[in-house]
Amino acid sequence: MVVGLIIACEVAFWVLLAAGLVFRYGLRMPRTGLALLLCEPLLELVLFAVTAIDLRNGAEPDWRHGLAAVYIGFTVGLGHSTIRWADARVAHRFAGGPPPVRPPKYGRARAVHEWKVAGRWIIAAVVALALLQAAVWYVGDGQAASLQAWQQRMLWVIAINVIIAGSYTLFPKEKR
């Protein structure tokens, strides 16, 4: 049930995003479009509640519960930037908006950009870590091995993003 809900939340995310942008730009109803876009966080609340209820009803914590926590964390950390990215492109293509800003290619500006990207991924991983830790405390350490495995994966996500952003800081790409 949890995996099906995760898939449904992902599909609903993109449906709400598309509908919000259609109302905002295609139908010239920006308030309705904004209202649809603001419904996005409700998906995570539903997933969080269903996962907590599943655990409370005695479900054995496994990879599905960990995946739900990771999905919520990544939506919190990356959802807003994904919506902003899509909004800029639709506004440019269909509403005469300015072209989307491209990330810088070289030097310090590129390093700053990479740290901002890493920051979003780190926020996503930290939120997932917090939710996973809350689940570990909720079910007890004896049943939490799969949840703790997800925590290790989130630490890897943080480490990889720090390494990538750090490489742009230590070895900046120079214009040729």
Query: What does the pLDDT read at residue 165?
Result: 97
Query: What does the pLDDT read at residue 144?
Result: 86
Query: What does the pLDDT read at residue 174?
Result: 87
Where do the domains of the chain lie? 2-170
User: Structure pTM?
Assistant: 0.91
Q: Which residues contact 99 (CB under 8 A, 6 or more apart)?
A: 92
Q: Is 30 in a helix, a strand, or coil?
A: helix
Q: If you write DSSP's letter for every residue of 54-87 in order, what string do you get?
A: HHHTTPPP-HHHHHHHHHHHHHHHHHHHHHHHHH
Per the structure block, which two tokens stand in for 65? 């519960």
Q: If you write DSSP's letter for every residue of 112-140 in order, what string do you get?
A: HHHHHHHHHHHHHHHHHHHHHHHHHHHH-
Query: What does the pLDDT read at residue 127?
Result: 97
Query: What does the pLDDT read at residue 99?
Result: 96
Q: Please, what is the angle between helix 63-95 and helix 107-139, to 10°?
A: 140
pLDDT tens for the chain, 176 residues long, are 889 999 999 999 999 999 999 999 999 999 999 999 999 999 999 999 999 999 889 888 999 999 999 999 999 999 999 999 999 999 999 999 999 999 999 999 999 999 999 999 999 999 999 999 999 999 887 788 999 999 999 999 999 999 999 999 999 988 87
Query: What does the pLDDT read at residue 140?
Result: 83
Query: What does the pLDDT read at residue 175?
Result: 83
Query: What does the pLDDT read at residue 176?
Result: 79
